[in-house]
Amino acid sequence: MYTAFETEIAIRPDDIDLNNHVHNTKYLEYVFAARYIQMRDGYKMSMQKFWERELNWVISITHIEYKRSIKLEDKIIVRTQIDSVNGAQAKVLFFILNKETNKVTAEGYLTYTMISTKSGRPVRIPDDIVEMYSK
């Protein structure tokens, strides 16, 4: 079982589109921002530590379902949890929640592929990283 992490994200005025709600592209930006914070604070392994090991994550699959709009005055929570780790890939589930109502505004998953920064090719996720994610 993998730990779920939650991060509060602030809505900025420039996130709002002409329909007076958050533009659909911002939802994934919120997930990416939360994931970086969660890697650093939850797993205690920032992106810098991956780079020092000549490793990086790239996204190979993105799936998102929009459920409800987010307005400027809303406060949101991004909850993520690793669903599975297999070879070079980790599938991460995400939920964007309205903090006040606890209703899901969007949900989906990202499949990350670990690559070598030297070759640019996929590499198996090292055992110590898999173990760290399994806590």
Q: Supply the pLDDT for residue 18.
A: 96
Average pLDDT, integer, range 41-53: 90
DSSP letter assigned to residue 90: E
- Model pTM? 0.91
Confirm if 91 and 84 have CB atoms less than 8 A apart.
yes
The contacts of residue 93 (CB under 8 Å, 6+ apart) are: 80, 81, 82, 83, 107, 108, 109
User: Which tens digits make up the pLDDT trace of 15-36?
Assistant: 999 999 999 999 999 999 999 9
Residue 43's pLDDT band, with cuts at 50, 70 and 90, is confident
Q: Supply the pLDDT for residue 123.
A: 98
Question: What ranges do the domains of the chain cover?
Answer: 4-133
Residue 12's pLDDT band, with cuts at 50, 70 and 90, is very high
Residue 34 belongs to what H/E stretch? Answer: helix 24-41
User: Which tens digits make up the pLDDT trace of 62-87?
Assistant: 999 999 999 999 999 999 999 999 99
Q: Supply the pLDDT for residue 134.
A: 81
Q: Supply the pLDDT for residue 44.
A: 87
**In CATH, which superfamily holds the domain spanning 4-133?**
Hotdog Thioesterase (3.10.129.10)
